[in-house]
């Protein structure tokens, strides 16, 4: 009966709280009189204790109305509520002292002994505090002990972990009950927080079963990715869901709520430790400069826009041919007089020339490109026009209009390419690097510096395997993987763009910077973990189906990351690739031939043959163009 009443009880009217608080102050005052006179009730009559109690209770009412300490919900009492109670009592007893002074002035005696006022203050504070905590604990006990509650462990007994428990316990209608904290810090193990024990992180595997845990919430600010993966693997083995608390900066209106504690996603497990940037160098490069970003509506381009704008450039010229996507980024950034949104195609020479002539960019980040391997394998002319000729147009006009620095964003697929897309990006790399060297030979000291950055797959980018798998899982499967042994490197969009800015700042011209992509990941393992994180069972709820390598697809991506093929830089995650030198006049002639073949669009094999002639290491894989991979055919 009591349990049912407490579970259904909502919030008491405030006037009831006021009456209870005044009654508590009255009781505390009476107790103070008794303590002062050693429980001699007759002595109380001599000091007119009825009038003294009435004055203190009336002062309490006035103080309550001033401080509004009755406004807090008693069963959610926290430190702020305690401070309000303390302030209320200070005002109450200061008011009583003032009345006492006035009374003494008129009647030459005290209305209330000051010793009684002091004792009443202390007793009132203890009683008001205790009855609030009692109500809080009663509600917590009855609501937390119901069998329908989901038993939860909170990983992390720091400030974030305590806030998480408070949110769970304090949310009306919460279906969770925190049964313990888990900590890797052995100094906290064995202690408790508000009666909730802290266990060792090394015992997590046994704790999940011992405490019948159904969910684990990670509430640690800087938990390493390796440790996070280890925790998730343990939980998935025991069919325990894993949730995570967002960083305090991401809390809605600065407060955490139960709805913000989300299920952990695969991006959280593939991310890496935060990187340290030379922000001063990046700031010096971008601040008060006119910066142009091509492909600015794409995954990489749009994140570059977001990051560059933070360095307060004089003007940001945002270019993309995708009208709708460009409109979305314009809406996101809002009205900003320093940003120009331009719909333009990098293959349109006249349009690019006009833009550079009018806006006079000083720094260019070139992210515009076609990147989908199977599509470009079927449409090599478009890969050439966008990735090669588009890059050549931008590079040539950068030189013509005295652009200071040109940063091209390439791909790991340009290394020993096995597909048209990768080869087109390699040719673009060759062109800008040879153009840079050509300008140096001409002793053009004020000429454009060309820098190339090269990295692998980006988490969450358009066409990434992760959203593709997520869609398949949401539709009930199957999840399709091309090959059981296929692996890929992954990097977050934010990290990739940070490294692009850093490499752009450190580049002097002619470098091809490659990024430390960490460990390669088996795509099938990625698919399995995504299925498990969705709460589904592999081969029971969802199956994995192998479809075979697509045209031009590699089993393993290459980054030329070995010490023999790279030169280290001051940044541990950025290296410079050692690559062959190409003669500028020769590559210029070859790109003209390639351009003409792409414009004619007569024979895809003719286009690819020219690409193989320019890049001899281009060997097609799972593609009809494999017939060209001998010297006589290419010749």
Tell me the β-bridge partners of 320.
Answer: 343
The catalytic residue positions are 413
Measured CA to CA, the distance from residue 157 to residue 181 in angstroms comes to: 6
CA dist., res. 400 & res. 317, Å (int): 18
Radius of gyration of the chain (CA): 35
What's the gap between Cα 360 and its chain centre? 35
* 3-class state of residue 295 by DSSP: coil
Closest CA to 365 of 425, 400, 406: 406
Q: Which residues contact 379 (CB under 8 A, 6 or more apart)?
A: none
Rounded-to-integer distance, Cα 216 and Cα 204, Å: 10
CA distances from 41 to 66, 478, 483 (A): 34, 84, 91
Angle made by CA atoms 497, 414, 363, in degrees to the nearest 5: 40
DSSP letter string, 61-90: HHHHHHH-GGGS-GGG--HHHHHHHHHHHH
Cα–Cα distance measured from residue 72 to residue 598, given in angstroms and rounded to the nearest whole number: 73
The answer to whether 297 and 328 are in contact (CB under 8 A) is yes
Contacts of 472 (CB under 8 A, 6+ apart): 478, 479, 480
The DSSP result for 188-206, as a single string, is TTT-EETTEEEEEGGGHHH
Six token digits for residue 414: 């340009």
Quick check: 619 and 629 in contact, CB under 8 A? yes
Question: Would you tell me how many other CB atoms lie within 10 Å of the CB of residue 571?
Answer: 18
- Tell me the residue length of the chain: 635
CA distance 26 to 28: 5
Q: Are strands 192-193 and 196-200 parallel, antiparallel or unpaired?
A: antiparallel
Is residue 288 within 8 A of residue 481, CB to CB? The reply is no
């Amino acid at each position: 009966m009591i349990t049912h009443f407490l579970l259904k009880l909502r919030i008491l009217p405030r006037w009831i709280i006021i009456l209870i608080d005044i009654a508590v102050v009255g009781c505390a005052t009476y107790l103070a009189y008794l303590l002062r006179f050693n429980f001699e009730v007759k002595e109380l009559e001599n000091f007119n204790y009825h009038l003294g109690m009435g004055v203190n209770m009336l002062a309490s009412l006035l103080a309550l109305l001033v401080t509004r300490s009755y406004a807090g919900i008693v069963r959610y009492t926290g430190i702020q509520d305690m401070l309000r109670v303390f302030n209320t009592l200070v005002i109450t007893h200061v008011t009583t002292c003032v009345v006492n002074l006035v009374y003494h002035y008129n009647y030459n005696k005290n209305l209330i002994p000051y010793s009684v006022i002091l004792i009443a203050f202390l007793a009132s504070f203890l009683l008001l505090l205790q009855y609030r905590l009692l109500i809080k604990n009663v509600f917590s006990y009855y609501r937390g002990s119901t069998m329908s509650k989901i038993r939860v462990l909170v990983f992390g007994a720091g400030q974030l972990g305590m806030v998480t428990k408070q949110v769970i316990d304090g949310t009306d209608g919460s279906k969770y009950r925190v049964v313990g904290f888990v900590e890797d810090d052995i100094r906290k193990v064995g202690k408790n927080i508000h009666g909730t024990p802290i266990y060792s992180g090394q015992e997590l595997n046994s704790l999940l079963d011992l405490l019948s845990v159904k969910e684990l919430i990670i509430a640690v600010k800087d938990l390493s990715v390796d440790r996070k993966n280890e925790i998730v693997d343990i939980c998935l083995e025991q069919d325990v869901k894993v949730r995570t608390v967002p960083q305090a900066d991401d809390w809605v209106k600065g407060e955490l709520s139960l709805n913000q504690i989300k299920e952990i996603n695969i991006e959280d497990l593939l991310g890496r430790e935060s990187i340290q940037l030379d922000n001063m160098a990046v700031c010096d490069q971008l601040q008060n400069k006119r910066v142009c970003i091509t492909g600015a509506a794409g995954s990489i381009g749009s994140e570059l826009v977001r990051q560059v704008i933070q360095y307060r450039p004089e003007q940001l010229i945002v270019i993309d041919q995708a009208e709708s996507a460009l409109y979305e980024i314009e809406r996101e950034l809002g009205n900003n007089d320093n940003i120009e949104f331009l719909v333009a195609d990098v293959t349109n020479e006249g349009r690019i020339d006009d833009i550079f002539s009018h806006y006079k960019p000083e720094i260019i980040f070139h992210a515009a490109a076609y990147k989908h391997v199977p599509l470009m394998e079927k449409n090599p002319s478009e890969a050439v026009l966008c990735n090669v000729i588009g890059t050549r147009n931008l590079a040539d006009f950068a030189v013509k209009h005295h652009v200071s620095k040109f940063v091209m964003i390439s791909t790991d697929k340009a290394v020993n390419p096995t597909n048209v897309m990768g080869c087109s990006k390699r040719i673009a790399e060759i062109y800008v690097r040879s153009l840079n060297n050509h300008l140096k030979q001409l002793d053009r000291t004020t000429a454009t510096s060309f820098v190339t950055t090269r990295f692998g797959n980006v988490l969450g980018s358009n066409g990434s395997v992760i959203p593709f798998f997520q869609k398949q899982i949401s539709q009930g499967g199957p999840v399709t993987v091309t090959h059981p042994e296929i692996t890929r490197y992954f990097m977050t969009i934010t990290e990739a763009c940070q490294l692009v800015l850093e490499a752009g700042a450190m580049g002097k011209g002619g470098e091809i910077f490659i990024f430390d992509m960490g460990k390669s990941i088996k795509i099938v393992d990625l698919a399995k973990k995504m299925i498990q994180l969705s709460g589904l069972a592999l081969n029971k709820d969802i199956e994995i189906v192998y479809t075979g390598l697509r045209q031009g697809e590699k089993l393993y991506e290459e980054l030329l990351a070995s010490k023999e093929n790279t030169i280290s830089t001051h940044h541990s995650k950025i290296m410079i690739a050692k690559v062959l030198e190409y003669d500028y006049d020769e590559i210029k002639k070859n790109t003209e031939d390639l351009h003409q073949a792409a414009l004619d669009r007569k024979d895809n094999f003719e286009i690819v043959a020219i690409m193989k002639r320019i890049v001899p290491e281009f060997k097609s894989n799972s593609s009809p163009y494999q017939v060209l991979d001998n010297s006589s055919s290419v010749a």
